Structure 1
Amino acid sequence: MQLQRQLRVVDPMMDTSASLKIAFATTDMKQVNQHFGSARSFAIYAVSASQATLLEVAQFGRLEQDGNEDKLAVKLSALQGCGAVYSQAVGSSAVQQLLRMNIQPVRVDPGSRIAELIDALQEDMQGSTPAPWVSKTLAAQGQTDASRFDAMEDEGWQE
């Protein structure tokens, strides 16, 4: 199996530095309707607390669900830099590989609408206690709460 087509959207107005890169296993770009291992395509978005922008779409060739884990390599490569991937289901081996890449697998109900999932993620990002994987991913990207500098300023500076 190989990557058949990859479309990247270039938006010079989008500030992706304050966003999470999130993938959705989908065939129609509207709902999550694919199992991770057999996903024919991923829609990858930059999601911040206030906006979401489609960054790219990766489409893959047809593949068999035969337990051959080598077929995941192309998909994992396409998800490089993502903080999470939403799918209907994901196998245990794929979960382990995703977590090693610091990508959180998120299982959702069949037909979950991508727009609604993005809205829920944005609400979570705006809240005082986001989901642990959101906090971890933001921290790994150096996007933690700016108020942490207030405590450092209160400590003062001594040379």
Structure 2
Amino acid sequence: MGQIARTLTLHDSAIEDDFVDRALKVAFATTDQKHVDQHFGTCEFLAIYLVTRDEVHFHQTIGFEKALMDGTEDKLDIRIKALEDCAAVYCRAVGASAITQLKKIRVQPMKVADGTPIKAQLALLQDELKGDPAFWILRALDAVNEARTDPARFDDMETEGWSE
């Protein structure tokens, strides 16, 4: 089974405290952190961004061990687990089995042209957030808002050993 080879998470003190809580997390299958150029099942990296109508911030890059396009599905598990709190993943291709598994965890797979610039795709997403968002975006925004207002979230934090 594949493993995460490395993770880089940016902690930007310029970001408002609640920005992460109100932003959509979206991921991009990439080799160079600039373009969507990978098949989801064998992607080398997932670049994750936080997006609202008015702001976009890089959040995290997750690197994976090299995976072959050999038809086996064991390489999907680690990639899908890495996306559990994301709203969507943009890639140049995605298989039927991966689509099914992504939908189960409420991650929208988005197929875009090979070489699509990530910045351009983020701008399109922001335009959609300002206008008439697709159903998957509305569903993801509902989940974000629900998580922020759910009174049980503090119980969950306490159970996990959360402290100030």
Unaligned runs of 5+ residues in structure 1 are: 144-159
Which of 27, 33, 38 is equivalent to 2:37?
33
Paired-residue identity, %? 39
Is 1:99 the counterpart of 2:117? The answer is: no
2:142 match: 139
Aligned-partner residue type, residue 33 of structure 1: D
Q: Which has the larger radius of gyration?
A: 1
What 5-or-longer segments of structure 2 have no aligned partner? 147-164
- CA RMSD of the aligned region, Å? 1.1
- TM-score, normalisation: structure 1: 0.86
**Which residue of the partner structure matches residue 151 of structure 1?**
none
For the 8 Å contact 2:56–2:122, the answer to whether it is kept is yes
- The amino acid that maps onto 2:137 is V
How many Å separate the matches in 1 of 2:32 and 2:41?
Answer: 17
SS in 1 for 2:145: coil
- 1:2-151 counterparts in 2 under 5 A? 2-14=3-15, 15-127=19-131, 129-142=132-145
Q: Runs of 4+ in structure 1 displaced over 2 angstroms?
A: none
- SS in structure 1 opposite 2:40? coil
Q: How high is the TM-score relative to the length of structure 2?
A: 0.83
